[in-house]
Structures are given as structure tokens and as C-alpha cells.
Amino acid sequence: MRDASPQQTPQAIHLRDYTPFPFHVAHVGLTFWLAPQATRVRSEIRFEPKGPKSDLRLDGEALKLVSAAIDDVPLDLALDDTGVTVPAASLPDRPFTWTAEVEINPSENTALEGLYMSKGMYCTQCEAEGFRKITLYPDRPDVMAPFDVTIHADPSGSTPVLLSNGNPTGDGTWHDPWPKPAYLFALVAGELVAVEDSFTTRSGRDVALKIWVRPGDEGKCAYAMDALKRSMRWDETEYGREYDLDIFQIVAVDDFNMGAMENKGLNIFNSKYVLASPETATDRDYELIEGIIAHEYFHNWTGNRITCRDWFQLCLKEGLTVFRDQQFSGDMRSHAVKRIEDVLQLRARQFREDAGPLAHPVRPESYIEINNFYTATVYEKGAEVIGMLRTLIGPEAYRKGCDLYFDRHDGQACTIEDWIKVFEDATGTDLNQFALWYRQAGTPRVDVSEAWSAKEGGGTYTLTFRQETPRTPGQADKDPQVIPLRTGLLARDGRELIPEQVLELTERTQSFRFTDLPERPIPSLNRGFSAPIVLTRADSTEDRLIRFAHDSDPFNRFEAGRTLSKTVLIKMLTDGSEAPAAYLDALHAVATDDTLDPAFRALALALPSEDDLAQTLAEGDQTPDPVAIHTTRRALLRAVAAHMEPVLDPLYDAMAVPGPYTPEAQAAGKRALRSTALRLLSERDGGARAKAQFAAADNMTEQLSAFSSLLGIGQGAAATDAFYAQWSADRLVMDKWFSLQVSLAAPEDAVTTCKRLTEHADFDWKNPNRFRSTLGALAMNPAGFHDPSGDGYTLFADWLIRLDALNPQTTARMSTAFETWRRYDENRQTRIRIELERIAGTPGLSRDTTEMVGRILRA
């Protein structure tokens, strides 16, 4: 419900103000009596004072207090807006038991935080601060306690399955012996069925595995289950981490604000990241399911057994767990391909964030609403920092440090300082300067210059680096950071002239000399994207072509192609020139090189995204025109298609995968390259092959690739209708239908398409997946969203305002569509400002969206 009272200026919370909670919580007992509009929650909490007498402050929001007592003596307490204070004077100075009964209303909880109902099912989301919407409690991650939970079914009989964290005791109680913070609490109740399996840990303990879904979805859990078992084994072999309860459960829910949640022993997932069948899920969906199942499972150690002292330390669990899931996916599939995909994501989301008004350090120093800090910077850059640490100290020392971390901090709520200290202790390295990566926001720019002095018998080559990190909100001056650059030197025929090495930049300006070289080398810098930086070097097209053809580091080979494509596109944009033949030949060569992994070839052939180009232009202080970018990119796609026409058909045929669909990486890679070929062919054949593929496809990957190709050339009308007729009963597939129509609409049609779809009977705007598929897709169509009329901005803002009243978290997150507004021309900036101010001025706007829009506007 919208708060009618005048908005209060929300208060910022600062890292420097941290103080420990004055009580230890020895045990939490919870009893639930479920009912949609009036669920009763009884809590029994054992507190032990840590020191001198102090007030007991408990957090609580949207609760009706029925009764409260200390050691069975009733208390007369009045709740304020955010909880309750029991004065020190009413507390004994020895351990005591707090009991309380509160009433909550899950059916009215549209924010999807706390205990809420999703299509008749009860479920919870407590991270970061949702537990306080369930009962009065010190809702902070450094308060860790064992929990016992009893759930009484809804008297309507609609909740036969009752789940919570930990092990079932047999008498209807869930016992979680591992002390945990309240944000990991979970409860699920509803008509659910389980797909069951088991796992034997390396020390021989049997763990029951259950994936709970709605009746009818049991057939779509096999891949998630398999990914779970592989994750459990991988954490044992790669990190020495074993699972620690008798049961591990996953529940799939339809209405969820994010991807998934790592509640102890009871992960809750957006159904999109659990349910898959060949007919309904794409290769990309399978890959995401594998990665997210792994991510949430890995949190059992990095996040749950060892958690965060306060929310400023969020990257301690998130950066590390992302890094671990990336390693896992690389091991399961291809490291080269995974790294390229991860860097593309990093640039698309994190570099974009770092370059705009929302830039913040991996460990922020203040926030108003913590939910606004589950960002690409905390997650993805947080993972990059760990990758750099591993590159600097080496894999063995990294493992040694991790072992020490688990030994030393098991059961604790920790800080980034604790994390860094274990690596200092394990290796004897001083990581003081390295730790700047956690404190300084912004993407470092590293400019490279080089000198060659030829001498008889071997020349000397000097590389000089200059690093600088641009100013970001609240941080004007930055110190030089430790930048590890994996480096090779190539001969013109592609030979490696030296063994690869890691150059460690620590100064603002720094040179490295290589002697006795037989020829002037071509440097291959930042291999594997060993540091998350923007590297600039005035290299020649010829150098890039050589690296694109020969670099032994697959990431840099990809990167050389990417730089070539961007340079060509930017030149086409500025002077209307055509794509040079040498570039088209190079693409052709990679496309047809059968020694290369098809998945790699698909990535190497893909043109940079429109947003990537806009960002690259902005990095060079140019003003991007999203419509011109779209038109030029399409022109290049056509030129590539024309140039490669003779090989596209054979390539398309060669990449067909015979037999029934299997999701593994090799087959997926072939389908990816086939899909790239189809997209190009569609520019030549008017969509004939795509139509045939659409009609014949027996799996969603191929059906969707055909559908996308048709939409991409403006021939999607019939397929749109056919797709709807076939899939209208499947929510997850329908999300794809909504999303593709908007994201692939021609610039001039995107806003009207999006608007029309918001009027569609299946547009359930209260479902975050559907909202993102429709409105989020508009923001993913830059030329449409940034239509100079400003209509895209207005439509988007209208819907943000509407959603904010129900679901602040998803609204605030989606407002980041506007974070790039300063890149654009005056007209667009003015129109965006008007919309941002309209949102900001909405009476009763949530704290979440107020903070985000305020930060975006202020820059």
C-alpha cells in the first residue's frame, strides 16, 4: 500500500558506524499458523547479554503485535515504524527468553519480500532485510543462531507440503543446527511435488535431494538436479567443501524478484532457473540453470557457513560465489567460451554502471536501501577482484588461502579485511595496495605506448603503461591500483616470442623491457581479461588482424576481432564508409576454421551490441546516436552476409546437430554457430530458411533462433502468431514471446509494440518475469527506447511509477535503464530528466526508487 504520509528523507547508513549487537542469540524457535490474510507467528528467542546492560532493539515492519513477554512476564510494548525497543531497565542481566506473537498478511504482500503468496503458495524472501516483515528480530547478518521451525498448515487444506531450513525431525519440526543469520531463513508451503534423488558426500554421508515444483512440472527438473549433483561434487574436489545437512531442497516459484536465493538447505528459485525441457528451454537457459544452481549451492559455504558481518561486506559472499560459479561453468563447459561470455556481461553491465551516476566501490561505504546494492559491481567486479588475486598469487596459494579462510572463519560473520588477511597470512604477500580494488570505484583506464630499438642479434622492446581511474560520484582522486596483465609477445607469423608472463602494474606510470627479440613484437596484453580495465593502445589494423588470426589466447583472439568490428562500425558511423575487405575476409576465415570450437566462432562472428557501441563512443567522449548505431550495425550485418554468402549455406548445414536434443556444451556450440549463420542468411534469403527452421524445430533453441532471425529482418508476423498459438499456456515460454517482440522490433515500432503488449491479456504486470520481459525488453532495444520523441522514456516511466506502489525492489532495479542518460544528446537528456523528475516527484514513492532515481539525477 502506498504511504499517504509525506515522504521523509531516507537516512543513509554508513560502514564506519558499525557496532556489534549487544546480545548473543543462542536459539530461535518459530511457530507458524498459516492463513492468507492473517498468519500468526510465534517466536521464542534466547538472548544472552554480551556485556553491560543495554536496550534490546528488535527490527519489525508491517507487523501486528499480538503479545510479547520476557521470561513469560508479559510486556506492554508499542511498535514504532521500524521495530521496537525494550529498555535496558526491563531486561534481566542474565540470559532470558523473549516470546512474541505477531500477525502478518502474506496475501497482500506484493513486494515479494518477507512471507508472501505466489499463486496460492506461501514462500519467503528474507535477504537482505525481509525477516523483519515476519517477526520482531535483530535482523542483521552478524546475529547468527540455530533455528527450530514448526509450521501449521493453512486450515483451507491448500498447503499439504510444509518446508523450512535444516533437517526434518519427524515430529513436524525443522531443525537447523548451523547458526545462521535471519536473512537465510525460509519457509515454503503449498501444493507441491518433489523430484527426488540423493548424493553421497566424499566422507560417505547420504544427502536427500528434493526439487519441489507444481504438479505437472516434474518432468522439467532433471537438468537442475544433475547440475546440483555436479556442483556438490565440484565443491568437494575444488574447494574441499562438503555439504552439511541430511537434506538439500530447492523450490521453484513463479513470482520472484531475482534469480534465486541461497536459504540454508532450502534454496528458493525463480522457476525460470529450474524448469527446463528441450521443447521449452534454450541452450542459454540450460547454461543459466547450471550456473545459478551452482551459485546458490556454493553459497552454502561462501555466504552461509561464513557470512557477512554487515551488508557493506556483501561482495565477500557474492563476488566470491560468482567467481566460484564461473570456475565451475568453465570446468563443465569451455573456459575460453565462458570467459568471453563473462567479460561481455561485465562490460555490458558493470562497466556501464561504473561509467555512470550509480558507480560505487565493490565494497560501498554507505547506502540508503541495501537492496539497491545487489549490483553488477558487487557481484561481477567482486568476482573479477578474486580472479586477479588468484592470478597474482597463483592457484596453489589461492587454494591455501581459501582453506585458511574456511578453517579460521567457519561459523563467523566476516569482513573483507578478514578475507584479505588469510591470503596475506597464507602467502606472506602484502595486499594493502591490492585492497584498493574494494574501495575505489570506476574502471581503470590503462594507456599503452611502446618503443622498439632494433639491434643486431636482438632488439629491445619497451612497453610503457599509464593508469588512471576516472572520477566517480563521491570519489574525485584515485590512487594507482595493482593491475595484473597476462602478456604475450607475438611474431608477425603468430609465433609466441616469449613465454607468457604476468606484468604487475602498481605505479601510475610504469615500463617493462624485453630484450633479445628477433623482431618487433605484437603485444597480446591483458590475456584472458586478467584485469577489468579499459586498455587503449594505438595499434594498427594489421596488428589486430594478426592477433585475430593467431593469438594463442582465445580471449585476446576474440578481443582483437571485437576491436576490429568496433573500429569498422565507428568509421562507418562517422564517414559513411563501407566495411573493408580485409576485415570481412578475417571474419570469413574464423567462421570457416574447423579447428576452432563452434561456440568460439559464434562469439567471434557476433557484432558488438548497440549498447556496447554507445558505451565505446562515450568512452571516447563522443555522443552516441542510438538510431544511427542501429542502422549502421544492420548495414554491417548485411555486408558480412553478402561477403560470406557462399559459405553460409554449407556452414548452416554442417552445424546441424543430428539426433534428439541434448543440452551439453558441444551441441550447444554448434547450434549457436548455426544460429549465427541463419541470422546472416536471413539477410539474403528473405527469411526462407528461418521459416523452414521455425516450422521444423523440435527444440526451443532452434525455434527461438528462427523466430529471432525473422523478427530481425521484419518478417516475424506469422511466426509471432504461430508461436503464441503453440505456447500460450506456458508462462516461461511466453516470457520469451513478449521479450523478443519488443527487443527485436524496428526502432520506430518498439514503443508501440511494447505498449500494445502491455495491453495484452497475458501481460501479468505483477509478475516480475513478465514485467521484465516486456518493459525491460524495451530498454534492451536502445534505438527504440531512445526514440528522439521521448515516447519510450514516458512509457517506461509510467510503468515504473505503477509498479513502485507494489514492488519497490524490481522497480528500483529497472530504473537503471536510465543510468546512461548523460551519454546522450541534449534533447534526449532533457526528455529523460523530465521523466526522472516525474518519477522522483511521485507521492509515496518507495525508499528504493527514491534512492536510485535521486542518484541517477544528481550526477
The residues assigned a catalytic role are 296
Give which of Zn ion, ligand B3K, none residue 786 binds (C-beta under 5 to 8 Å, depending on kind): none
Q: In what helix (H) or strand (E) does residue 560 lie, and over which residues does it extend?
A: helix 554-575
Q: Could you give the 3-state DSSP secondary structure of residue 441?
A: coil
Joined together, the cell numbers standing for residue 293 give 544452481
Instruction: Indicate whether 209 belongs to the interface with ligand B3K (CB under 6 A).
Output: no
Give the Cα separation of 768 and 803 in Å (integer). 10
**At its nearest, how many Å lie between ligand B3K and the CB of residue 534?**
27
Site for ligand B3K, residues 357 to 376, rule: CB under 6 A = 371, 374
Give the Cα separation of 720 and 702 in Å (integer). 15
Which residue type sits at 81? D
Site for ligand B3K, residues 603 to 642, rule: CB under 6 A = none
Give the Cα separation of 233 and 271 in Å (integer). 24
Give the Cα separation of 736 and 719 in Å (integer). 13
What is the pattern of x (binds Zn ion, CB under 5 A) and - over residues 266-305?
A: ----------------------------------------
Among residues 247 and 260, whose Cβ is nearest to ligand B3K?
260
Joined together, the cell numbers standing for residue 92 give 534481566
Q: Contact at 8 Å (CB) between 26 and 49?
A: no
Give which of ligand B3K, Zn ion, none residue 59 binds (C-beta under 5 to 8 Å, depending on kind): none
Q: Contact at 8 Å (CB) between 362 and 388?
A: no
Q: Which one of 292-300, 436-444, 679-687, 823-831 is the stretch in contact with ligand B3K (CB under 6 A)?
A: 292-300
Give which of Zn ion, ligand B3K, none residue 374 binds (C-beta under 5 to 8 Å, depending on kind): ligand B3K
Q: Which one of 79-87, 293-301, 494-502, 578-586 is the stretch in contact with ligand B3K (CB under 6 A)?
A: 293-301
Give the Cα separation of 393 and 449 in Å (integer). 27
Complete DSSP assignment for 279-306: TT--HHHHHHHHHHHHHHHHTTTBTTTB
Its sign, for the CA torsion 542, 548, 552, 558, is positive
E strand intervals along 518-611: 522-524, 534-537
Give which of Zn ion, ligand B3K, none residue 308 binds (C-beta under 5 to 8 Å, depending on kind): none
Q: Which residue of 149, 207, 261, 605 would you call a contact of ligand B3K, by CB under 6 A?
A: 261
Among residues 43 and 263, whose Cβ is nearest to ligand B3K?
263
- SS3 labels along 101-150: EEEECHHHCCCCCEEEEECCEEEEECCCCCHHHCCCECCCCCCCEEEEEE
Q: Could you give the 3-state DSSP secondary structure of residue 268?
A: strand
**At its nearest, how many Å lie between Zn ion and the CB of residue 303?**
7
Joined together, the cell numbers standing for residue 555 give 580471449
Q: Which one of 110-118, 134-142, 314-322, 505-513 is the stretch in contact with Zn ion (CB under 5 A)?
A: 314-322
Give the Cα separation of 521 and 547 in Å (integer). 11
**At its nearest, how many Å lie between ligand B3K and the CB of residue 367?**
12
Among residues 367 and 514, whose Cβ is nearest to ligand B3K?
367
Q: Is 76 exposed, middle or buried (0-12, 13-18, 19+ CB in 10 A)?
A: exposed
Q: Which one of 33-41, 318-326, 477-485, 817-825 is the stretch in contact with Zn ion (CB under 5 A)?
A: 318-326
Site for ligand B3K, residues 112 to 141, rule: CB under 6 A = 127-128
Give the Cα separation of 526 and 487 in Å (integer). 6
Q: Which one of 321-329, 447-455, 558-566, 626-634 is the stretch in contact with Zn ion (CB under 5 A)?
A: 321-329
Give which of Zn ion, ligand B3K, none residue 610 binds (C-beta under 5 to 8 Å, depending on kind): none
Number of residues forming the site for Zn ion (CB under 5 A): 2
Q: Contact at 8 Å (CB) between 283 and 276?
A: no
Among residues 184 and 546, whose Cβ is nearest to ligand B3K?
184
Instruction: Indicate whether 318 belongs to the interface with ligand B3K (CB under 6 A).
Output: yes
Give which of Zn ion, ligand B3K, none residue 677 binds (C-beta under 5 to 8 Å, depending on kind): none
Among residues 179 and 768, whose Cβ is nearest to ligand B3K?
768
**At its nearest, how many Å lie between ligand B3K and the CB of residue 806?**
16
Among residues 632 and 809, whose Cβ is nearest to ligand B3K?
809
Among residues 147 and 374, whose Cβ is nearest to ligand B3K?
374
Give the Cα separation of 694 and 658 in Å (integer). 17
Interface positions with ligand B3K (CB under 6 A): 127-128, 258, 260-262, 295-296, 299, 318, 371, 374, 809
Interface positions with Zn ion (CB under 5 A): 318, 321
